Amino acid sequence: MADNCSSVEIVEGCRLPVLRKNQEHEDEWPLAEILSLKEVSGRKLFYVHYIDFNKRLDEWVTADRLDMKKLQFPKKEAKTPTKNGLSGSRPSSPERPEREVVPKRKEVVPLVTPVPPATPVPALPSSTETSQAAVFPVVREPPPFKAREDLEPIPTVTTNGTARRLIPPQPGRKRKANCGGPDEMIKVLQYNKPQSAAVFLPPPEDSQDSSDGIPTAPRMTGSLVSDRSHDDIITRMKNIECIELGRHRLKPWYFSPYPQELTTLPILYLCEFCLKYLKSLKCLQRHLTKCNLRHPPGNEIYRKGTISFFEIDGRKNKNYSQNLCLLAKCFLDHKTLYYDTDPFLFYVMTEYDSKGFHIVGYFSKEKESTEDYNVACILTLPPYQRRGYGKLLIEFSYELSKVEGKTGTPEKPLSDLGLLSYRSYWSQTILEILMDLKPDNGERPQITINEISEITSVKKEDVISTLQYLNLINYYKGQYILTLSEEIVDGHEKAMQKRHLRIDPKCLHFTPKDWSKRGKW
């Protein structure tokens, strides 16, 4: 495909199809952008980013994998100035044929994409985000279901400094003005099918989706959310070829700011106990003779079988915390890296054998969070993924929230894999609660949204968004109901049979600290 590669000069920013193998090991030619070029032993190599693919798939490719017939060169600078007198075009954007531009409505993408329920569910007015289509039910007559892009703009009014959406009255049927709040009891109805049930759901008071987009800038209290303003060609490219950690060799997914002199090495060696990085195997062997650690520094607060959790204070163990952040950045793209680890606690999960406690994954959290975040970053190392450790980390974070007497939610945005893990955990946890409800003195069992939140420590907004993601909410005779079909129940039971790793609260030895009373962490 690259016979005329020598006659046509490829520059950074060009786009063209590149040959790669998909998950079925079949050839495909997705469009890719050239981010960098280099020459090794007389061969030209091109670093490509596959458009609409995750950055962890970026790679160096040879010229024979490029389709030069469909090469698109970067668009030149536009001559028409913008309001600020600067050009509005991007040099790296390829030239494309002109086409009609259809204006799109500005929209914030929610964490959970609403799935159309069997019966239409209306939107709840949000008190803080008037531009975002709400995904929660409200105390109003449900309008006919429309797709998000078909919805008409809803007028807003400002009262006492708070923006509210005005929903026009629906003609036709009348209904009661109020059908209860989040403390109203939810009734469970048993149908003829033994595996089916419906739960009456009251509309919640606070409908603000917990899945708002990326904030404009990280908070000064220690947020790890990346604002993307620091992105450049350097940070868009993987800089570490391979990492050896204990008995595993890891291929990094993303850029991590390790020292520049280490990025040219074929393998970067890490001590699996203190996470110190070294440039050669000989240096690692010499380090291991002096390193006395056989487990992460800090307090062991949980142990069951071979699984242990260690609590590490980012102020008391700065070197370890910074090394952990450097390693985690290789596999997390949506978070930034702060060398000031003082505001954070790190909870490291390990697996024990005769040689010591080997790191499996970790999550971090702020010592003081004004937004009820119980997780800042969460990661299961690639060798341990798809084995249930991710859900175990999530479950442990909520167990800590239960001990603290709080409800919690992870800091947004979540990575694609993190979102899948949280959706799965929330779904299984909430379904477990609903299916375990028992009749009381012959009466139908009752529960409220707030009670579900208190039992699980899952924030109320995450409970409701999960119910909508599962497509359980329906509107029936003036009330919102949740319908658990046989398919949902069977799928849940099969998933729980595969979930062997669970947190045992009896094995947790944790005393929460009041960080607000401490002058310095």
Active centre residues (catalytic): 411
Tokens 């909520």 belong to residue? 398
> Before 144, cis peptide (omega within 30)?
no
Residue 298's region, left for phi above 0, alpha for psi from -120 to 50, else beta, is: left
Tokens 């009661």 belong to residue? 176
CA distances from 84 to 87, 216, 229, 499 (A): 8, 21, 19, 56
Task: Tell me which amino acid residue 186 is.
Answer: I
CA–CA distance, 332 with 347 (Å, rounded to integer): 17
Task: Please check whether residue 301 is in contact with residue 310, taking contact to mean a CB–CB distance below 8 angstroms.
Answer: yes
CA–CA distance, 415 with 449 (Å, rounded to integer): 27
Strands, E assignment, 236-296: 243-245, 248-250, 268-270, 277-278
Tokens 């109901």 belong to residue? 481
Q: Which helix (H) or strand (E) holds 50?
A: strand 43-50
Cβ atoms < 10 Å from Cβ of 306 = 12
DSSP designation for 443: B
Q: Which two tokens stand for residue 507?
A: 């094995």
Cβ contacts of 83 within 8 Å, gap of 6 or more: none
Cβ atoms < 10 Å from Cβ of 399 = 18
CA–CA distance, 474 with 488 (Å, rounded to integer): 15
Q: Which two tokens stand for residue 293?
A: 């650690």
Query: What's the distance, CA 14 to chain centroid?
Result: 31
Query: Of the candidates 8, 78, 93, which has an alpha carbon nearest to the alpha carbon of residue 44?
Result: 8
Residue 85's region, left for phi above 0, alpha for psi from -120 to 50, else beta, is: left
